[in-house]
Amino acid sequence: MVNEEEKICQFRLHNWPGVGDKAIGKLLDYFGSAKEACRGKEEDLKQVLREKTAVKAAEFNRAFDGEKAYERMRRQGIAFFTREDRAYPSRLRKLNPPPFALYCLGRLPKDEGPAAAVIGARECSEYGICMAKAFAEGFAKAGVAVISGMARGIDGISQRQTLACGGETYAVLGSGVDVCYPASNKELYRRILEGGGGILSIFPPGTMPLKQQFPERNRIVAGLSDLILVVEARQKSGTWITVDMALEQGKNVYAVPGRLTDRLSDGCNLLIRQGAGIALSPEDIIAEAVLLGNRMQWGKMAMPAKEDNWTEKKPPEGKAEHEKEDKSGFGERAEGEEILRFLDYYPKSVDDIARAMDEKGTVAEIPEIFSKLIGLCINGRAKQISGNYFVKIDK
């Protein structure tokens, strides 16, 4: 058990500029403790660190009020864990090297519970949005915690859906836990904490998001997860960093397949070609994890029953009169509702929609269909991609 004074010195050490986990390990080996390392003189530090780094570290150490900063951090509700703490996540201990420290607002992921990373493109399609929601919902209902980076796009969408379904989700940031990035996800940041999850980072509080910090953030996302699901990704994207790190850690990687003509599916299709698992449903992924039994927490789970048409949203009981099937045109139903049946999460042209409607016996002229589609776009139920191509939006 680390005493309070040593804990504060560990915190001080972790704030030294230019001193990473490997260097901290060397300092601890040389001095025997964080307390003695913080007491070390500049000449002593030079025995372990490069000269310039040692000079900067010594200057910082003299000016930095570690006790005051540590107390301020605790008042913010931020917990500080090192590899010497029992609560330090067991999954991270298996990394080489494991991060020296982890900061947490809220709760840490449960060691005994299953966890899956859901990652993908920031600029995603309606198809990607639908798939991210469907898999996150499946994981949440099965009791699988969703780990992600709270980024725009697939990351944030999967975490919002997890919360909406009563599941647990944890965000790993490339900044300090007290710095919400991106700022547009401030509401999600708040909801994760209110929902019993946690905001995690290996960077000290106050650290601003820098490009070079995100690969390490991605390593922690992979490290805290038992498997990785890529929903949508271009052939060259930051998602590949997480995938590579997951593979190095021996984690299973799954990818949601997409059409060959969609650039946002290039990364997923290539992953599948290279041997990644094909993600056809959350139930399939969970069942495979249970059968593999490579982690006790998955082995204890019950085999889930696969639902038919799992990506389809079930209509609420007691349909409104305007929602009842009407094959004689649009009738009295809500503006454009009938046409939603003929839209998809992939772009469809007005001509394609008209042909599909005609095959189902629904009579409508092109101008009328186009008008209804525009109405759906105004109401947020559809989106015009270009010209006469439209996609359905999953609310």
Supply the DSSP string of 50-74, one letter for each residue. Answer: -HHHHHHHHHHHHH--HHHHHHHHH
Find tokens 């946690």 and name the residue.
Answer: 198
Residue at 97 is within a domain: no
Is position 98 within any domain? Answer: no
Judgement on whether residues 242 and 354 belong to the same structural domain of the protein: no
Distance separating alpha carbons of residues 29 and 27, to the nearest angstrom:
5
35 and 138 housed in the same domain: no
Give yes or no: residues 66 and 155 share one domain: no
Q: What is the pLDDT at residue 377?
A: 82
Are 100 and 83 spatial neighbours (Cβ–Cβ below 8 Å)? yes
Rounded Cα distance, 298 and 226, in Å: 9
Dist. CA 331–CA 345, nearest whole Å: 25
Query: Where a domain ends, among 75, 107, 133?
Result: 75
Contact 140, 161 (CB under 8 A): yes
Quote the domain boundaries for residue 32.
Answer: 4-75
Question: What pTM, to 2 d.p., does this model score?
Answer: 0.79
* CATH at 47: 1.10.150
pLDDT of residue 306: 56
Choose one of 75, 95, 129: the last residue of a domain.
75
105: in domain: no
Residues 123 and 22 occupy one common structural domain: no
> Is 103 contained in some domain?
no
- Do residues 254 and 335 share a domain? no
387, part of any domain: yes
**Phi, psi at 392, each rounded to 5°:** -80, 145
The number of CA neighbours under 13 Å toward the Cβ of 151 is 21
Pick the last residue of a domain from 268, 299, 330. Answer: 299
- C-alpha–C-alpha distance, residues 196 and 182, integer Å: 21
Residue carrying the six token digits 């509401």: 187
Residue 152 and residue 273 share a domain = yes
Residue carrying structure tokens 């003509």 = 261
pLDDT of residue 239: 87
Same domain, 170 and 218: yes
Dihedral (Cα; 246, 252, 256, 259), 10-degree rounding? 80
Structure-block tokens of residue 233: 């990704």
Q: How many domains does one find in the chain?
A: 3
Please tell me the distance from the alpha carbon of residue 325 to that of residue 154, in angstroms, as a whole number. 34
CB-CB contact of 136 with 106 (8 Å): no
Tell me if residue 376 falls in helix, strand or coil: helix
pLDDT given for residue 328 in this prediction: 36
How far, rounded to the nearest angstrom, does the alpha carbon of residue 366 sit from its chain's CA centroid?
41
Collect the ranges in the chain with pLDDT lower than 70: 1, 292-336, 386-387, 395
Judge if 49 and 8 occupy the same domain: yes
Whichever domain contains 168, its CATH number is 3.40.50.450
Asked if 133 and 162 count as a contact pair (C-beta separation under 8 A), the reply is no
Rounded CA-CA distance 254/368 in Å is 42
Same domain assignment for residues 131 and 209: yes
pLDDT at 316: 40
User: For residue 206, is it left (φ>0), alpha (ψ between -120 and 50) or beta?
Assistant: left
In this structure, the answer to whether residues 177 and 223 fall within a common structural domain is yes
User: How wide is the angle at C-alpha 115 spanned by C-alphas 194 and 128, nearest 5°?
Assistant: 80
Query: Running DSSP on this structure, what letter comes out for residue 167?
Result: -
Rounded CA gap, 345 and 128, in Å?
8
Is the same domain home to 263 and 129?
yes
Instruction: Quote the CA–CA distance of 284 and 297 in Å, as a whole number.
Output: 17
